[in-house]
Structure 1
Amino acid sequence: MTSNNHSQNRALQQDARAWSEFTGINYTAALRQMQKPLAQGILGERVSARQLIATLEDHPLIGGTGDDFVLGESGFYADNSWSFDGENDYIELALITEALRMFSPLAKTETPEVGSYTLKHTVEALLTDTPAAYVSNGRLIWAAAALGLPIAEYDGGSSLNLLIGVPDNEHDYLFKMVRSGQTRPQGHHFRPPGYEHLQAALARCAAGEPAGDPWVRPAPVVEEPATFHAWLLAQADRDEPIGDFATDYAEGIRTSAHRIAQTPDELVLLLNELTHSPEAYDAARAAIGEWLGTMEPSPGIRTMRISSHREDVGGYGAGSGDMERLEYRCPCGYGRIVEEHDNIPGFREHSHRIDCGQCREEWRFLEGRSVRDWALEPVL
């Protein structure tokens, strides 16, 4: 046995003794919980039972002394104390901890906004096929405190519920993903970083397999101020069509109703996928034109390729070649941009056209670009 395995087994044994004494169950039952695969740490190190117990005693908000706990099964200053079944209590707390670990850390300057009672229902739905299919309000708060998340009372106090420091937008995304009757998010910019890894690990454990490789938390994404997305958000306070469109776009981002468009090309693709009014499309086109006008030279926009075809031809005495046709979706989404190349020695021709009446009036090819390197700009 390696020294590392010895240390791990010793830690499990120490945890089991502490958990046995704390909950009143026998040592063997406690050790059996410590050894379960679901309790070995999925998004981080295994949560220590001794740390969980110490949290109820030492935490600045929920800590108590001796048996006089501030936190109970129903929440903060609950009348009912803890009710342990001796089979899954530690595993439940370990899984709740994993669910909380998947969120992005809240900045120290931010005030917790997500209520523990709402969050506990979301975590229940996430863990519905695990021993933590039911999560009490108190255990959710307990796990959050043990993990070191920011916790605060509601203004005025006198509530069983506390505010938990997980990002509100990430919780809203998770709520819509796991709670029945909710419209699933169409944009995934607020997906908690550990969500997919945790889901995959839980599925493997349910199949009797190891949880898998350790999770590495991704580095925070720093928003580039020069992106089209950032510029468009900044237009939301304008009292005219572009401002109205930017406000609607920002609301769709906030609610995860659609994804982020970092470029005008991505906004055009997004509009092709979403239901929108002619006025919204006109405002978006005007916004793209204004944005492109700030750049020299203008990069224009490219649309999505939808088909390509190449046909070999024998040529006319100068050798064989091919004829190539590529089709792209036009900006409005209902027509085509056609790019054609006659790659035949002696008869080389290259052309492109907007095969859509509406877009021929509202868009034009940038000058000075080759046929293969075409780009469009709005006609304003």
Structure 2
Amino acid sequence: MTSSNHSQNRELQQDARAWADFTGTKYTAALRQMSSPLAQGLLGKRVSARRLIATLNDHELIGGRGGNPMLGENGYRSEALWNFNGETDFIELALISDLLRMYTPISDAVSPEVGSYSLKHTAEWFLSPHCSYVSNGRLIWAAAALGLPVADPGGDGPNLLIGVLEREHNYVRRMVGSEQTRPHGEHYRPAGYAHLQSALARAAAGELISNDWVRPTLVEEPAPFHDWLIMQVSRDDAVGDLAGDYSAGVRGSDHGIARTPAEMLSIFHEVSHSSEAYDAVVVAITEWMRTAPSPTPIRTERLGGDTHDHGGWGAGAGTTERIEFRCPCGDGTIVEEHDNVPGFREHDVRIACDKCRAEWHFAEGRGIRDWALEPAAMSGTL
């Protein structure tokens, strides 16, 4: 046995003894919980039972500090006694801890906003069937033991505020909650979401998760069009209305982030919108492309295509190819056609939509297969 394994076993045994004493259960039952694959730490180090116990006394808000307990099964200032079943109580706290680790902690400069009672329900939905009931008190207990910011919203209720990102919590709640509208944007998905789902399934099957999860370093992708558009919210015109609706959709994960004008058009094809809203998109894209340094012209989504063999015209066989792309407004297409026949090699691209043909043109200096669009208004032809 290596010194590392010996140290880990010793910590397990110490935790098991402490948990057995604290909960009034047998040491062997406590050790069985400490050794469960579900309690090994799926998004970080294994949760320490001794730290959990110490938190109930030492924490600056929920700690009893040698006096009456400040936290009970039902939450803060609850007189309800803890209900320990001796079989899964520690495992459940470990799983709740991993769920909380999934979220990005808020900075010290930000006040906690997510209510413990709302978080407890999200935990139940996410962790089911491995932990189908989470009490308000245990959610608060796990958060405090992890060192997450915990705040009292005032009043005399049992709920506290927990320092995780509210928009990440809203995303998870909508993904796992019953009768929730699923989000369409992924920008607020917690970094550990997919890993925790996978690790839960593997641990439930008895696998010990040996590879440590490391929270990825946040790398912000450039989003020049998004940054410009959200700055237009205060405008009293159609572009201002568009910016307000777009910003609300981003906050609610109703759609993704439009880093470029092309992504903005893609979003519009995914959500219901009026013709006036589309016209505002064209105006916004035109304004942005006029002022942005070296803006990239727009490519639209490919819809399909086909290739056919052609016997040729006496100089050998070849193929004909037709590819269709969505036009900017979505009601027509952009068509590429290629005759790859010896002696008749012709290539063409056209906008097969009257509205878009009037509002867009092909950017100059590009080949047929490399076409891209610009608003016609940029050149004063609209």
Do they superpose with TM above 0.5?
Answer: yes
Match of 2:338 in 1: 341
- Counterparts of 1:142 and 1:357, CA distance in 2: 63
Which one of the candidate residues 250, 255, 278 is aligned to 1:253?
A: 250
Q: Distance in 2 between matches of 1:259 and 1:297?
A: 24
In structure 2, how many angstroms separate the alpha carbons of the residues matched to 1:262 and 1:343?
Answer: 36
**Aligned with 2:160 (options 143, 162, 184):** 162
- Deviation per CA, 1:113-151: give whole Å up to 9, x if none: 001111111111111201x21111111110000001011
Separation (CA, whole Å) in 1 of partners of 2:144 and 2:192: 19
Residues 1:136 and 2:135 are matched in the alignment: yes
1:116, 1:298 → 2: CA distance?
46
Change (3 A) 1:297 1:255: closer
Q: What SS class does the counterpart of residue 351 from structure 2 fall into?
A: strand
Any idea what the Cα deviations from partners look like across 1:22-58, whole Å, max 9, x if unmatched? 1111211111111111001100000000111111111
> Size of the alignment, in residue pairs?
377
Judged with a 3 Å threshold, the aligned counterparts in structure 2 of structure 1 residues 152 and 223 are, in CA distance, closer, same or farther, namely: farther
Return closer, same or farther for 1:305/1:363 CA change in 2, 3 Å cut-off.
same
Which residues of 2 match residues 299-310 of structure 1 at below 5 A?
A: 299-310=296-307
Give the 5 Å matches for 1:132-211. Answer: 132-154=131-153, 156-211=154-209
Higher mean C-alpha deviation, range 305-314 or range 285-294 = 305-314
Instruction: Establish whether residue 376 from structure 1 lines up as the match of residue 349 from structure 2.
Output: no
Quick one: distance in 1 between partners of 2:205 and 2:22? 32
State how far apart, in whole Å, the 2-side matches of 1:353 and 1:115 are.
Answer: 55
- Structure 1 residue 236 corresponds to structure 2 residue 239: no
CA contact (8 A) 1:29 1:87 kept: yes
Deviates more, 1:236-245 or 1:309-318: 309-318
Instruction: Give the residue type in structure 1 aligned to 2:280.
Output: A
Aligned counterpart, 1:293: 290
CA distance in 2, matches of 1:83, 1:339: 69
Q: Which whole-Å deviations, capped at 9, do the CAs of 1:327-348 have from their partners, x for residues lacking one?
A: 1111111211111222334433
- Quote the residue 1:48 is aligned against: 48
Deviations 1:41-77 (A, max 9, x none): 1000000001111111111111113463211111112
Q: Structure 2 CA distance, aligned partners of 1:297 and 1:75?
A: 56
What letter matches 1:32 in structure 2?
R
Q: By how many angstroms is 1:311 displaced?
A: 3.2
Select between 306-315 and 281-290 the one with higher mean Cα deviation. 306-315
Answer whether contact 1:303 1:331 (CA < 8 A) is retained: yes
Paired with 1:257 and 1:136, the residues of 2 have a C-alpha distance of: 30
* 3-state DSSP of counterpart to 2:249: helix
User: Residues of 1 paired with 2:44 and 2:73: CA distance?
Assistant: 25
Match of 1:338, SS? Answer: strand
Partner of 2:212: 214
Distance 1:227 1:11, change over 3 A: same
CA-to-aligned-CA distance 1:265-319 (integer Å, 9 cap, x gap):
1111111121111111111111111111123554220101122333343444555
Structure 1 unaligned spans of 5+: none
C-alpha contact 1:202 1:211 (8 A) present in aligned 2: no
Matched, 1:274 2:265: no
Runs of 4+ in 1 over 6 A off after TM superposition: none
Structure 1 residue 87 displacement after superposition:
1.4
Task: Supply the distance in 2 between the matched residues of 1:268 and 1:292 (Cα, whole angstroms).
Answer: 14
Q: Give identity over the alignment, percent.
A: 60
The residue type paired with residue 144 of structure 1 is A
Partner AA of 1:334 in structure 2:
D
Report how far residue 215 of structure 1 moved: 1.8
Could you say which residue in structure 2 is the equivalent of 1:364?
A: 361
Q: Which amino acid in the other structure matches residue 44 of structure 1? A: G
Structure 1 residues 102 and 330: alpha-carbon distance in aligned structure 2, compared to 1, 3 A threshold: same
8 Å Cα contact 2:37/2:204 also seen in 1 = no
Q: Is the 8 A contact 1:201 1:212 kept in 2?
A: no
Distance in 2 of aligned mates of 1:234 and 1:183? 28
Deviations 1:219-273 (A, max 9, x none): 113253x521111111111111011001101111111111112111111111112
| In 2, Cα distance between equivalents of 1:297 and 1:139 | 54
Distance 1:174 1:297, change over 3 A: closer
Please list, as runs of the form range in 1=range in 2, the aligned pairs for 1:77-88 lying within 5 A after superposition.
77-88=77-88
Return 297-306 or 349-358, whichever deviates more: 297-306
Question: In the alignment, what sits opposite 1:58?
Answer: 58
Aligned with 1:328: secondary structure? strand
The residue that corresponds to 2:36 in the other structure is: 36
RMSD: 1.7
Whether the 8 Å contact between 2:40 and 2:208 is mirrored in structure 1 is: no
User: How has the CA–CA distance of structure 1 residues 49 and 261 changed in structure 2, closer, same or farther, with 3 Å as cutoff?
Assistant: same
Which segment drifts farther, 318-327 or 199-208? 318-327
